[in-house]
Amino acid sequence: MAAAAAAAQDEAAARDVQRLLVQFQDEGGQLLGSPFDVPVDITPDKLQLVCNALLAQEDPVPLAFFVHDAEIVSSLGRTLESQAVETEKVLDIIYQPQAIFRVRAVTRCTSSLEGHSEAVISVAFSPTGKYLASGSGDTTVRFWDLSTETPHFTCQGHRHWVLSISWSPDGKKLASGCKNGQILLWDPSTGKQVGRPLAGHSKWITGLSWEPLHVNPECRYVASSSKDGSVRVWDTTVGRCERILTGHTQSVTCLRWGGDGLLYSASQDRTIKVWRAHDGVLCRTLQGHGHWVNTMALSTDYALRTGAFEPAEASVNAQDLRGSSEDKKPLARMTGHQALINQVLFSPDSRIIASASFDKSIKLWDGRTGRYLASLRGHVAAVYQIAWSADSRLLVSGSSDSTLKVWDVKGQKLAADLPGHADEVYAVDWSPDGQRVASGGKDKCLRIWRR
């Protein structure tokens, strides 16, 4: 690898190109190796060879390179053209390892799963990607067999619309909440209800969140937020409410159980409250939003869904990025959307934040600083939900105009357009293994999309 770099250097020297001193640096600021000389027209591939050689790993890792926050796409020279560079100083090139595997964009609808007799409101793949569950306005929760793409189980039990569903981190249980405030637990392998119905909320359930796997491997506790302004922690083995966290004065719109034992709840009363999970004490109240907080995302969301963790947090609606969990002040305020923001998500590698809004656009922001990156336009009506692919390179969005669109995040443009639904698309999810995208909507059918 060093030989290849040397060869490149010789070649460039022969062509008498300007040379620069560069130093590789990782995202945390750690320096890699010592500064060395490269020609200005060096390409990212060659940089990758050199960097991999310096990292001295068995398998070469794909990398992306950034100079002063601008990505090196074609050659170093091109990127520096727009910036003032002092050729005497050592230039810092920040390298970011990308996901080794590559998820391919989904392009076609492989099946349309009918069965629900009312609009499909929520869709979720299990953390292992083996099962698919959907909740609907006809009060049933259905499990679907992914290998044959046919219905597996239909679970009756709710008496009103099933508003939210959530898989336990080990993939063995599914919790579903309905508009009457009732929560039921299901076993995906048999389709039967597990335990007793958890009743206690007086109004509808807005969100469900399980306790992370690393804290408790038996997946015992689940937290639920409701329009009645309270958050309840339930013990699923016994079937009763362990703790009730009150404090919000209006509906709690979003709930997240963080990896460090803290529960984050966002509400229409414009605050986000942070609670200690094991004893229910309110730690912090984060204020600053100007209106209802519609949605919230943790940078560890994807990791908690599938595996290990690292904490930080962001909350939205005229977005505020907050630093580590100790801070009370917002880190960054991300404005730009012209209508309400319906969903915000960190990418699985937590480098990019995507926000879907009713102003028909999706905006991308830097995951650490909150800096605006790009706007993805293409939808002709409100964008309802988005989902990231596991390698953080693709984003799928479902909208009120009945289409789904797959976006290439690196190129910041549309990768594939997925029409097919007859009416508004209410829920989308990308399976953690990257193979499939599932979407459900007002036309009562669930569609599975593959490559």
Provide the binding-site residues for another protein, judged by CB under 8 A. Answer: 118-119, 121-122, 136-139, 159-161, 163-164, 179, 204-207, 227, 251, 253, 294-295, 342-343, 358, 360, 380-382, 384, 400-403, 417-420, 422-424, 426-427
Q: Which is nearer to another protein, 236 or 294 (CB)?
A: 294
To the nearest whole angstrom, how small is the minimum distance from the Cβ of residue 345 to another protein?
Answer: 14
Are 232 and 200 in contact, with CB atoms under 8 Å apart? yes
Q: Which is nearer to another protein, 319 or 343 (CB)?
A: 343
Beta strands at 296-298 and 425-430: parallel, antiparallel or unpaired:
unpaired
Q: Which is nearer to another protein, 48 or 122 (CB)?
A: 122
The alpha-helical segments, DSSP class H, found in 35-97 are 44-55, 76-81
To the nearest whole angstrom, how small is the minimum distance from the Cβ of residue 442 to another protein?
Answer: 8
The Cα 124–Cα 186 span in angstroms is 14
Q: Which is nearer to another protein, 31 or 380 (CB)?
A: 380
Q: Which is nearer to another protein, 117 or 324 (CB)?
A: 117
Q: Say how many C-beta atoms besides its own lie within 10 A of residue 278's C-beta.
A: 15
Q: Which is nearer to another protein, 6 or 380 (CB)?
A: 380
Q: Which is nearer to another protein, 10 or 417 (CB)?
A: 417
To the nearest whole angstrom, how small is the minimum distance from the Cβ of residue 451 to another protein?
Answer: 18
To the nearest whole angstrom, how small is the minimum distance from the Cβ of residue 110 to another protein?
Answer: 17
The 404-408 sheet, strands edge to edge: 383-388, 394-399, 404-408, 413-418
To the nearest whole angstrom, how small is the minimum distance from the Cβ of residue 440 to another protein?
Answer: 10
3-state secondary structure of 8: helix
Q: Which residues contact 81 (CB under 8 A, 6 or more apart)?
A: none
To the nearest whole angstrom, how small is the minimum distance from the Cβ of residue 278 to another protein?
Answer: 27
Q: For residue 448, give the H/E element and its range.
A: strand 446-450
Q: Which is nearer to another protein, 359 or 391 (CB)?
A: 359
To the nearest whole angstrom, how small is the minimum distance from the Cβ of residue 264 to another protein?
Answer: 17
Nearest C-alpha neighbor of 319 from the set 265, 387, 370, 252: 370
Q: Which residues contact 147 (CB under 8 A, 6 or more apart)?
A: none
The 120-125 sheet, strands edge to edge: 120-125, 131-136, 141-145, 150-155
Radius of gyration for the chain, computed over Cα atoms and rounded to the nearest angstrom: 24
3-state secondary structure of 2: helix
The Cα 240–Cα 204 span in angstroms is 18
DSSP-assigned letter for residue 15: H
To the nearest whole angstrom, how small is the minimum distance from the Cβ of residue 316 to another protein?
Answer: 12
Q: Which residue has the tokens 């209802």?
A: 292
